[in-house]
Structure 1
Amino acid sequence: MKKIVLFCSAGMSTSLLATKMQKSAKDKGIEVSIETLPEAQMEKRIDDDVDVVLLGPQIRYALRRAKKLCDEKKIPVDVINSVDYGMVDGEKVLEKAIKMMKK
């Protein structure tokens, strides 16, 4: 099972997006675990069992720090597209995460 971690300011604003991503994954028959966490837990929660890290657009300023943490563990990381985030488009964000895993 693949693991995607979404970080945002407090770990709550991404909850609805994560729910929609889970539904999209289920509809497509993809086994994935999606966790939402506050940015403050980034150092503690990026570990070897994480396959992709996505940041909410409101914390794009943390991308450099996230890249440093993720590069050490060879985990792809990026910022969620603000339109997809605002529209709570779980399918598009899931597709992005899957593409990132394949690179």
Structure 2
Amino acid sequence: MTKNILLVCNAGMSTSILVKNMQDAAKTLGVDCAIEAKSLTAAKKDLHEADVILLGPQIGYELNKVKELAGNIPAAVIDMKDYGSMDGKKVLKTAYKMMKAAQAKA
């Protein structure tokens, strides 16, 4: 089953590079997922379609608001080092760990 990973940043621009790197990592790892980057404003409408939500470090201050809107969907801020190096594989693995942890709680 395809997992939906939503990356949220200020304008959705800088994160698009990370999305590409994550998509490449997903292909390499044989992971079935859809990864999309959106601005915070656009993402608010689509939060409930995501299986996991990752915020760019530059809008980490919005995490509590996003968690409130997202309900039971796991949400976190992307590690600044992983974001800065655009480490798609590491961010993808983080997303899957979050989804596993959320399933274990459910």
* Structure-to-structure mapping, 1:1-103, within 5 angstroms: 1-47=2-48, 49-71=49-71, 74-103=72-101
CA distance in 2, matches of 1:24, 1:66: 26
Misfit runs of 4+, over 3 Å: none
CA distance in 1, matches of 2:42, 2:84: 23
What fraction of aligned residue pairs are identical, expressed as a percent? 48
The answer on whether the counterparts of 1:42 and 1:66 sit within 8 Å (CA) in structure 2 is no
Structure 2 segments unaligned to the other structure (5+ residues): 102-106
State the AA in 2 paired with 1:102. Answer: K
CA distance in 2, matches of 1:17, 1:42: 17
CA RMSD of aligned residues (A): 0.8
Structure 1 segments unaligned to the other structure (5+ residues): none
CA distance in 2, matches of 1:41, 1:16: 18
TM-score by length of 1: 0.94
Following TM superposition, by how much is the alpha carbon of 1:81 offset from its aligned partner in structure 2, in angstroms?
A: 0.2
**Matched residue pairs, number?**
100
CA distance in 2, matches of 1:39, 1:66: 9
CA distance in 2, matches of 1:50, 1:42: 10
Query: 1:35 is paired with a residue of what secondary structure?
Result: strand
The answer on whether the counterparts of 1:24 and 1:90 sit within 8 Å (CA) in structure 2 is yes
Following TM superposition, by how much is the alpha carbon of 1:70 offset from its aligned partner in structure 2, in angstroms?
A: 1.4
State the AA in 2 paired with 1:98. Answer: Y
TM-score by length of 2: 0.91
